[in-house]
Chain A
Amino acid sequence: MAYPDYCLAAVEKPGRYIGNEINIARKNVEDIDIRFAFCFPDVYEIGMSHMGLQIMYALLNERADTYCERSFAPWTDMEIILRQKNIPLLALETGDPLSLFDFIGFTLQYELCYTNVLNMLDLAGIPLFSSQRDEKAPIICAGGSCAVNPEPMADFIDFFYIGDGEACINDILDIYKANKFNHGTKREFLRNIRNVPGIYVPVLFDDSQDGSSKKTEKAFVSDLDSSYFPKSYITPLIETVQDRVSVEVFRGCIRGCRFCQAGYIYRPVRERSLETLIKQADDLIKTTGQEEISMLSLSASDYIHCNELITALTQKLSPIHVNVSLPSLRIDKVSLELMSKAGEIRKSGLTFAPEAGSQRMRDIINKGITEEEILRGIRQAFESGRNRIKLYFMIGLPYETEEDILAIPALAERVLDQFFSIPKDKRPKNGANISISVSCFVPKPFTPFQWVGQDTLETFRAKQNLIKRNLNRKIRFSYHDAEQSIIEAALARGDRKSGQAIYNAWKNGARFDGWSEKFSYIRWVESFTQTEIDFYAHRERTSDEVLPWDHIDVGVSKRFLIKEYNQAKSAQITPNCRESCGGCGIEGCIYA
């Protein structure tokens, strides 16, 4: 079965729903024991740009007894038709309804996709609440970075998988198969997996002993270099958001920016060797035929062999017209040269993320970069012929004052001054094109700022206006929707009770909340209550409060987070992990 032609002919992008891509797994359903639907709760083009999907898909399909297929959130035009014609949500490979699967696994990459999870289940004809699902219903599981605080989605999900996907997924499937063979129940299966690293089963969690019941430790790949990595990726037939293949240079980050969740939950740093990366890149280029490859990490310049990697890849790949792209580089002379080498010269734009305008603020968030370094990097960028510079900032950070806000337009202005201080014949002819993009700070679990009360809507708006009024007219200004950031914060630090609000929002029509044109703040205020939004988003928590995610252990100690929060208070920097270990408590760290 597949979606009928009349359905596909009526939607804007039918290519999202047809599957049939290059390198997909094709198996005979009769020959397999476990059907797994990997679901990405956003549109196809976003989901297919996600490296985790590619790895998990290939890993699951390595198993002869398992067939992993995919499904994505249908865009609103498709949803209307599916509901009208009573067509269930299908998996792309076989075109079978999701309700026939053993597992439906969601990856939760951002909080604003939660309503899409509910919508996908509903379109599949599966009851949303785990308490309403019987033995016949698929087992619904969820992983991804948002799973570190599973509580808001706990009413809907049978089990959460926290940590590195490659680590324990095979154990789970083995246990499932054994349980199925022995005619065990779903409850028995859940009981059997609850001690596997990374597994959290909400229905089996007993919170009566407040925090004393066993914590869920994250699943963890200690040796990334030898961990599973596919030889090929699915190559989409339509253009996706990141239309390139990517390899992961290292996982984790040595920096410890205090607002950044990824910097804490993926600790410690685990690197891939040069040889492995070159081999992986080579395989992917050969099997996909794609013409761009991206080197992923949280901070590429921190890879010790960064220079050699780029040199080797460029030598190998540029003769066959493959570009190497390097997101997340620190901008300095070395990296500018690397970028030129990688053929990025033809891209005239560069992005910088000072995150804050004043040095005091950058010290508070532990963004270990000085204004001098920023300006020097930008000057070198101008001198190397690039004229489009985009600067990323955040507002609403803890201990922020009006001066810190005003420092944002001031820094942008000094960037412009840099341009004009370069002799005319040495700077780009077509003038400087500078823009700043300002987002709203969202406090996240497992960061030193997890206790911080988020700014209110009014404060965010006032700060945005303050920047706008003080910004040089020659500099372009864009900012993120504060309303979305507030709901993101409420969901990120929500608890078991938040599930009801998510359900209400979905009932009231919330879909694709991450898309500003689909998002409605009013709908969310009505689905929560203003009091609840204040409680989850705007309230400052005390460090002795029991947090909804305290029963999850990502390896970084709470004591360390408290210490970091105190350091922030006095604008004290914590050196990066390679310089000196801050004692975060993680196990298996090469720098400790």
Chain B
Amino acid sequence: MPRLLVLFSKTDVMKFIGHLDLLTLFQRAINRAGLPVRYSQGFNPHQKVGFAAPLPLGVEGLNEVAEITLEKYCEPYDAALSLAKQMPRHLFIKDARMAEEYEKKSAALACAAKYKIRPREGEETEVTLNLAGGLKQYMKEFKIPDYTYVSRIELLRKTESGLVPLYQIYKGNNHES
């Protein structure tokens, strides 16, 4: 089945929309855009849509990845455009591409992320943390208050040449984390 990878950002008030609500938002946008999304089989069919990694409530995401399984191939650029038209403000569709067949699901590939943290005005750090609780631990260790501005700049995956942006294609190099 063809899979569409969608690169998007979620900023401003949209950072207050949680993971499950974001999923519903995407599903409804897909319906309105009329994308040929694939549904699961069974009693309660649902769209096959997912995200590379949930974003904590209140954290911005600049390069997030959604993965949509389609019934049939469609031109990624057109799909991105029609989806972009259906999104609320502050949720920008930046790009889309088809996943290569050999590529694992992005949720399986994403293992770390680069964050920008601003505990105080004028004081800003960039850190790379693992996705398995790395941010929480960091905030705790450095006693950073909960409502601090945090932005997830980039989701990362592991390759032979180290951590690289998740959304990029690595031809012929399918090393998994």
Contacts and interface: CB of A to CB of B under 8 A. Distances in A.
A20 interface: yes
Nearest to B28: A289
A25 B24 CA distance: 21
Contacts of A289: 27-32, 86
A288 interface: yes
A21 B88 contact: yes
Nearest to B26: A289
B17 A237 contact: yes
B27 A6 contact: no
Interface in B23-72: 24-25, 27-32, 39, 43-45, 47, 57-58
Contact of A5 (B14, B57, B89, B147): B147
B57 A20 contact: no
Contacts of A19: 13
A322 to B, nearest CB: 9
Given A9-B146, A20-B89, A290-B28, A239 B20 contact: yes
B149 to A, nearest CB: 8
B21 A238 contact: yes
Contacts of B32: 286-289
Nearest to B37: A321
Interface stretch (A10-18, A370-378, A430-438): A10-18
Nearest to A237: B17
A239 B27 CA distance: 13
Contacts of B30: 289
Interface residues of A, number: 27
A80 interface: no
Contacts, number: 67
Contact of B45 (A22, A235, A321): A321
A291 B16 contact: no
A183 interface: no
Contact of B43 (A9, A285, A291, A346): A346
B140 to A, nearest CB: 17
Contacts of A237: 17, 21, 25, 88
Contacts of A18: 13-14, 16-17
B21 A2 contact: no
Interface string A264-293: 000000000000000000000111111100
A15 B13 CA distance: 8
Tell me if B's interface is mostly helix, strand, loop or mixed.
mixed
A239 B21 contact: yes
Chain A CB within 10 Å, residue with most, of B17, B31, B45: B31
Chain A CB within 10 Å, residue with most, of B13, B21, B147: B13
A6 B88 contact: no
Contacts of B86: 22, 289
Contact of A9 (B18, B21, B58, B89): B58
Interface in A3-38: 5-6, 8-10, 14-15, 18-22
Contact of A235 (B18, B28, B43, B149): B28
A288 B32 CA distance: 7
Nearest to A22: B88
B175 interface: no
Nearest to A322: B31
A290 B16 CA distance: 21
Interface residues of B, number: 29
A138 B21 CA distance: 35
B17 A15 contact: yes
B90 to A, nearest CB: 7
A15 B39 contact: no
Interface string A228-241: 00000001011100
Contacts of A291: 27-28, 31
Contacts of A20: 13-14, 88-90
A14 B147 contact: no
Contacts of B44: 346
B135 to A, nearest CB: 15
A151 to B, nearest CB: 40
Contact of A288 (B13, B21, B28, B90): B28
A285 B89 CA distance: 21
A15 B147 contact: no
A576 B103 CA distance: 65
A239 B147 contact: no
Contacts of B27: 289, 291
A8 B16 contact: yes
A501 to B, nearest CB: 38
A2 B15 CA distance: 14
A246 to B, nearest CB: 16
A289 B32 CA distance: 5
B21 A15 contact: yes
A14 B13 CA distance: 9
A555 B44 CA distance: 46
Chain A CB within 10 Å, residue with most, of B16, B28, B32: B16
A238 B57 CA distance: 13
Nearest to B22: A237
A290 to B, nearest CB: 6
Interface string B139-167: 00000001101000000000000000000
B116 to A, nearest CB: 15
A402 to B, nearest CB: 46
B54 to A, nearest CB: 15
Interface in B116-144: none
B147 A10 contact: yes
Contacts of B17: 15, 18, 237-238
Given A20-B89, A289-B30, A6 B21 contact: no
Nearest to A16: B16
A321 B39 contact: yes
A21 B21 CA distance: 12
Contacts of B28: 22, 235, 288-291
A291 B43 CA distance: 15
A411 B20 CA distance: 42
B88 A9 contact: no
21 contacts: A5-B149, A8-B13, A8-B58, A14-B58, A15-B17, A15-B21, A20-B89, A20-B90, A21-B88, A22-B86, A235-B28, A237-B21, A237-B25, A238-B17, A239-B20, A289-B32, A290-B28, A291-B28, A291-B31, A321-B39, A321-B47
9 cross-chain pairs, A with B, having the tightest CB-CB distances, nearest first:
A289-B28, A289-B31, A9-B147, A14-B16, A18-B13, A289-B32, A238-B21, A9-B58, A20-B88
Given A22-B86, A235-B28, A289-B31, 10 more contacts: A5-B147, A8-B13, A8-B58, A9-B146, A21-B88, A286-B32, A288-B32, A289-B29, A291-B27, A291-B31
